[in-house]
Structure 1
Amino acid sequence: MRCSLTTFFTLGLAVVSLAAPTVSPYNVHEKRNAIPIGWSHTRRHESAATLPLRIALKQSNIESIDEYLYDVSHPESANYGKHWTAGEISRKFSPSEESISTVRDWLVENGLASERIRVSPTKGWINVDVTVEEAERLMNTEYNVYTHVSGQEHVACEAYRLPEHISPHVDFVLPSVNFDVKLKRRSGSQPKPVGGIGQPGAGITPKTTGSVSQTVTELEQCDEYITPVCLRALYDLEYEPVATDKNSFGVVEYTPQAYLQTDLQMFAMNFSTDLIGKEPVMVSIDGGYAQTEYQGFDYNGESDLDLQYGMSLVTGSQNVTLYQTGDMVEGASFNNFLDAIDGSYCTFEGGDNYTVDSQYPDPYGGGYEGPEDCGTVTPAYVISTSYGYNEADLTPFYTARQCAEYAKLGLMGVTILYSSGDYGVAGNDDVCLNPDGSQTTTGMIFNPTFPGTCPYVTSVGATMVKPNATVYQVQPEMACMDVIYSGGGFSNYFAMPSYQMTAVDYYLENYPPNYPSDIWNSTGMSRALPDISANGANYVVAVDGEFELVYGTSCSSPVSGAIFTMINDARLAAGKSTIGFINPTIYSAGFAGAFNDITEGSNPGCGTEGYNATIGWDPVTGLGTPNFTMLLENWLALP
């Protein structure tokens, strides 16, 4: 399976580069090319100041993780569906004793007493408090203080270097080049941005054109109003689950995003009567709860949408788990959620990357004071997330480490879905890349989203019913070009996985994008997205006591998740495994035609018309929208 977590594509704007060989045995390990907007260099950091240095160790066998995943995920494999246990995962990928001892010896040889060096319980990190002078000597770098326009300060370096014999054992070091800083709360009545995810208007968020002013007559108006009956008709989803006690479907929300039970019941009474009296199974992660202090579309729109449609399509007989992640003060990131569903992903002293990921107990006070949730939550068989970063928001090492975790979940039989974004070839908030790696609304370089670019998740784009079309037509949908544009394109960090090669090569050969190679990753060797799509326009959603029209790939992910959950139901009822990581299967020849090919529309952005929807896979709608009947038949035919 051709995919490497350490293979990145640069377009001349990478954040990691290798230095030319010098007399020194040190090589550049990470490098940043630009200071983010809103920050400015203030001064050199004081040499006697203390830095909590955290060294992320390379995981054992990680270079083979795609092969292991492919072995249980490809329909032609003899081990298809033979998923691993969490214990098997932990034993296979824990950093080796060689990595631990090599890095520890290096620190000791450089004058750090062994009692200062701590190894995390999971053996994933080595932690040591050092002075700035010691850190600069260890990594041949300079630490500076940067100041945000808000007045907050941050410590970082432009680049750091590691000895040649140490670098193969280290993923990344913190603090270093990473600038994804959580801004501390300011005074005021509204919750303030911390890591971006879940905050109003940040990242991938649904859009609305306002309230619905007339009675919706269901199937006759699906080009104007999408309801559950429209989706069932579009995707041939006629199925009553029979193995609900064995099955599971999870939807992830990030506080302050929260659903209102009154909205769910309002929706149920109008469109899904089997949900009357039902509510999701709430699982609180790191103090998460369905807050009601702040209401309105910006706070309730996402979660209301995800649950109303996700729960409707799996019917009231199938419980749906709501993973409410992060408290109102610190919030949370994807890593905080991953910590909770896989204890091996946690780190010593509530870690991960403290510049991106929230720390619990709240180190600043006033927030959740309980212990960080690590391995406390059982992952559902299908997990849908309608949030996302821009790939360029994060360093390649950070994204690679997280991407490997999605592969581990796939090995355990979990299907991970992420929305592909709502701004076409541009990133969230319609920002594009500049040659120096910065992101602005005036940038011209295509800006893909993450985690959608991770080859171990399924990225979901958006379609819409064509104006004046009906659900009874042979192909009633096109790429979504109303209010939002389906996110899609090519990663600047991750290599193309082998399961995608045939489909993407066909697209590039027959429909080559007519753009200069310096504004998109034209190498033909990078991970492409999305993988599939589903309707993302004109959803009728109950929000704060009234129905609103909602748009976004935020709609597409939970709908797809519900469809795959019903396929799991049928397989579990037949005594078979869950479908797990679906990408090798859906791209395989045996599944040709199991998705409705979308051939109209495009995804504009960055001053261009973006890519075009074409015959076959395309970087607008992927393989197309699901045909439940065909998918079910094909998956039931597998072991």
Structure 2
Amino acid sequence: MHYHCISVLFVIVLFLLGSLAKPLSPPWDDMHIKHSWNVVPKNWESLGHPPSGTTIDLHIALRPQRENAMVDALHEVSEPGHPRYRAYLTKGQVADLVAPHPETLELVNSWLEHHSISPSSISMTHGGNTLTLKRVSVTQANTLLGASYQLYRHVERGETIVRTVGYSLPRALHWHVLTVAPTTSFVSPRTQWQTPRNCSDGAVMSTSEEPAMMLSSRAKVNRIMPSFLRWLYETEAYTPNTRGENVLGVLGFLGYYPSQTDLTAFMQKFRSEAGDATYTVVLVNGGEYDPTHPQQEANVDLQYAEVMAYPTPHIFYSIGQGAPGMEDLFSWLEYILDQENIPQTISISYGIEERLMSREYAINVCDQFVMLGVRGVSVLVSSGNDGIGKGTCLRDDGTVRFNPRFPGTCPYVTVVGGTTGHEPEVAVKFSGGGFSDYFKRPSYQEEAVSTYLQDLGNRYQGLYNASGRGFPDIAAQALGLPIFLEGKVYGVGGTSVATPIVAGIISLLNDWLILTGQAPLGFLNPWLYGRGSRGLTDITEGSNSGCNMDGFPAIVGWDPVTGLGTPNFRRMLEQLF
């Protein structure tokens, strides 16, 4: 009897040890909401369940084991005076910093196995930081996420997307999983440009929310020619010499393509010595390229990046429309972070209202920009063309709130606002600007933004987040600029013109650094808000209207209209010594 008891106890001990070694799976049916909307977002209507057999690719972002390591690394490599300033990380070092805890991977894989997700359909990026589930049926996604995916149509643009107004995760995964996409983001990237008009007799026309304004005077037209930009921002005396080591990347979404024929015509007319300018096209996530059907946005972005940075090599990234929305941007970030070599400067002229995506998803996309920064990449993003907000800015609850735009609200990109005129340059009224509702004010702009808010006082109190990240950071000419489109000259305006202008200037600075054996600038803002600001021209006139209000005024120092001011290449170059 005694021997039998010992045997039973021995079996129990073995069982308990086995249980400790491999814990029981959590109850996967204990679901709790991760994110949801109270109503279908404005301007979207449900068309019901998508057709049978519809599939989607799900991206699952996991919490890193070393949660603050990446942001800490960015501060080190971006802060002038730090011992590791511009000592950038490799792709492998970044992957190590963002890798999730082994327990996180084990739990998530167990959850996916429970729902019969085939391992062959799962891929990992950035050291396991993100899992991608390919071609998941909508039925399976509904079960996995406690969701109700439907087909939604935008009532103005007519585009359709598959989304859900809410999704859940098992309680055991809420800490481990940062976000899942596509789920509740009812957005597609809007370009930051004003509608072009045909030019007649050499006059340039540009439009904003008000009627078009013709600049009929030849003197005035000359002021907005590319040659004028190069004179105004003092780049005309510098010629890049890095033999292809320095590269400028331009992003294209929504099936918008540039035209080599238009680029050649543009350069021959506005910078004759650069008539041989060209670019490389890289297709991402099913992107396409049809130069016989160019669109104005792609031509704007490429022509102004080229005219400022020629003969620097340019890459145009055509990102597929398989998942319209910020998922397009996420797919490009996944692609580019997987490359060993990345362009030192990136220009992005697209954005959306921050409030149309979940906070968790916006933070996850912003974290990808951190990874670009630690690898030495300068990212320029347009601030938008709606000033402080489009229309009345009336929310569903009846309150008025300014509408900041993402990814400009991300603290880890450099945001470009718009100016117009000369002697002095002034803020253009549609220049997007304001304060993030999702991201707190970063330390590098604490002094500059606090000073502005003290000057602003109680004006607009309660209509914006006074503790949020302020944007833009910098600005450039954004009104009445010519482009070529299908062989004709048009005039355009918008911060999406200003963005490649600034990107071209930053690319020239990177060229000089590389030529002199130094690392490129990388994430610009800590330098810009410090010594780099001496190389900028402060803009102190104008404001950015919106929400039926006058908007934020431009003043001495930083303001949420033109940032720290417009670039001066020669003076910025002096601040690199």
Instruction: Place the TM-score, normalised by the shorter chain, in its bin.
Output: 0.7 to 0.9
The 1:176–1:221 alpha-carbon spacing in structure 2 relative to 1, beyond 3 Å, is same
Q: Which amino acid aligns with 1:580?
A: G
Instruction: Find the counterpart in structure 2 of residue 527 from structure 1.
Output: 469
Q: Which amino acid aligns with 2:193?
A: T
TM-aligned CA deviation for residue 534 of structure 1: 0.6
Is the deviation greater in 557-566 or in 266-275?
Answer: 266-275
The question of whether the paired residues in 1 share the 8 Å contact of 2:476 and 2:498 is answered with yes
Give the secondary-structure state (helix, strand or coil) at the position aligned to 2:560: coil
Q: Which amino acid aligns with 1:125?
A: L
Q: Does 1:321 align with 2:266?
A: no
Q: Does 1:121 align with 2:136?
A: no
The 1:39–1:242 alpha-carbon spacing in structure 2 relative to 1, beyond 3 Å, is closer
Q: In the alignment, which of 167, 171, 175 is matched to residue 168 of structure 1?
A: 175
TM-aligned CA deviation for residue 146 of structure 1: 6.4
Distance between the aligned counterparts of 1:63 and 1:565, measured in 2? Answer: 29
The question of whether the paired residues in 1 share the 8 Å contact of 2:308 and 2:505 is answered with yes
Instruction: Find the counterpart in structure 2 of residue 353 from structure 1.
Output: none
Instruction: Find the counterpart in structure 2 of residue 95 from structure 1.
Output: 100
The question of whether the paired residues in 1 share the 8 Å contact of 2:540 and 2:554 is answered with yes
TM-aligned CA deviation for residue 105 of structure 1: 4.8
The 1:133–1:562 alpha-carbon spacing in structure 2 relative to 1, beyond 3 Å, is closer
Distance between the aligned counterparts of 2:285 and 2:120, measured in 1? Answer: 28
Q: Which has the higher helix share?
A: 2
The 1:114–1:26 alpha-carbon spacing in structure 2 relative to 1, beyond 3 Å, is closer
The question of whether the paired residues in 2 share the 8 Å contact of 1:256 and 1:328 is answered with no
Give the secondary-structure state (helix, strand or coil) at the position aligned to 2:534: coil
Q: In the alignment, which of 410, 413, 425 is matched to residue 454 of structure 1?
A: 410
The 1:544–1:27 alpha-carbon spacing in structure 2 relative to 1, beyond 3 Å, is same
Instruction: Find the counterpart in structure 2 of residue 554 from structure 1.
Output: 496
Instruction: Find the counterpart in structure 2 of residue 56 from structure 1.
Output: 61
Distance between the aligned counterparts of 1:41 and 1:254, measured in 2? Answer: 24
Distance between the aligned counterparts of 1:459 and 1:207, measured in 2? Answer: 21
Q: In the alignment, which of 50, 59, 78 is matched to residue 83 of structure 2?
A: 78
Instruction: Find the counterpart in structure 1 of residue 244 from structure 2.
Output: 245
Is the deviation greater in 54-63 or in 92-101?
Answer: 54-63
TM-aligned CA deviation for residue 619 of structure 1: 0.4
Q: In the alignment, which of 567, 572, 575 is matched to residue 509 of structure 2?
A: 567
Instruction: Find the counterpart in structure 2 of residue 576 from structure 1.
Output: 518
Q: In the alignment, which of 539, 544, 562 is matched to residue 621 of structure 1?
A: 562
Q: Which amino acid aligns with 1:547?
A: V
Instruction: Find the counterpart in structure 2 of residue 214 from structure 1.
Output: 202
The question of whether the paired residues in 2 share the 8 Å contact of 1:143 and 1:157 is answered with yes
Q: Percent identity?
A: 31
TM-aligned CA deviation for residue 55 of structure 1: 4.1
Instruction: Find the counterpart in structure 1 of residue 304 from structure 2.
Output: 309
Aligned pairs (5 A) from 1:52-451: 55-105=60-110, 112=115, 120-122=123-125, 123=128, 124-125=130-131, 143=148, 145=150, 148=153, 154=162, 156-158=164-166, 160=168, 162-163=170-171, 165-173=172-180, 176-180=183-187, 196-197=188-189, 202-214=190-202, 221-222=219-220, 225-237=223-235, 238-294=237-293, 299=295, 301-315=296-310, 317-326=311-320, 333-343=328-338, 375=339, 378-427=341-390, 430=391, 432=393, 434-436=395-397, 444-451=400-407
Q: Which amino acid aligns with 1:610?
A: G
Distance between the aligned counterparts of 1:305 and 1:80, measured in 2? Answer: 34
Task: Answer with 1 or 2: which has the greater Rg.
Answer: 2
The question of whether the paired residues in 2 share the 8 Å contact of 1:254 and 1:326 is answered with yes
The question of whether the paired residues in 2 share the 8 Å contact of 1:453 and 1:529 is answered with yes
TM-aligned CA deviation for residue 135 of structure 1: 6.2
Distance between the aligned counterparts of 1:270 and 1:542, measured in 2? Answer: 10
Q: Which amino acid aligns with 1:32?
A: W
The 1:224–1:396 alpha-carbon spacing in structure 2 relative to 1, beyond 3 Å, is farther
Instruction: Find the counterpart in structure 2 of residue 630 from structure 1.
Output: 571
Question: Which runs of 5 or more structure 2 residues have no equivalent in the other structure?
Answer: 1-28, 205-214
Distance between the aligned counterparts of 1:151 and 1:333, measured in 2? Answer: 15
Distance between the aligned counterparts of 1:104 and 1:268, measured in 2? Answer: 53
The question of whether the paired residues in 2 share the 8 Å contact of 1:42 and 1:144 is answered with no
The question of whether the paired residues in 2 share the 8 Å contact of 1:420 and 1:461 is answered with yes
Distance between the aligned counterparts of 2:540 and 2:30, measured in 1? Answer: 53
TM-aligned CA deviation for residue 305 of structure 1: 2.0
1:356-406 alpha-carbon deviations (Å, 9 max, x no partner): xxxxxxxxxxxxxxxxxxx4x842100111122221232222221111111
1:239-273 alpha-carbon deviations (Å, 9 max, x no partner): 12222432111222235322222322222222211
Is the deviation greater in 237-246 or in 503-512?
Answer: 237-246
TM-aligned CA deviation for residue 328 of structure 1: 10
Is the deviation greater in 404-413 or in 330-339?
Answer: 330-339
The 1:490–1:435 alpha-carbon spacing in structure 2 relative to 1, beyond 3 Å, is farther
The question of whether the paired residues in 2 share the 8 Å contact of 1:219 and 1:229 is answered with no
Give the secondary-structure state (helix, strand or coil) at the position aligned to 1:120: strand
Corresponding pairs, count: 529
Instruction: Find the counterpart in structure 2 of residue 541 from structure 1.
Output: 483
Q: In the alignment, which of 12, 30, 33 is matched to residue 35 of structure 2?
A: 30
Q: Which amino acid aligns with 1:323?
A: Y
Distance between the aligned counterparts of 1:541 and 1:453, measured in 2? Answer: 28
The question of whether the paired residues in 1 share the 8 Å contact of 2:440 and 2:467 is answered with yes
TM-aligned CA deviation for residue 88 of structure 1: 0.7
TM-score (norm 1): 0.74
Q: Which amino acid aligns with 2:395?
A: N
TM-score (norm 2): 0.81
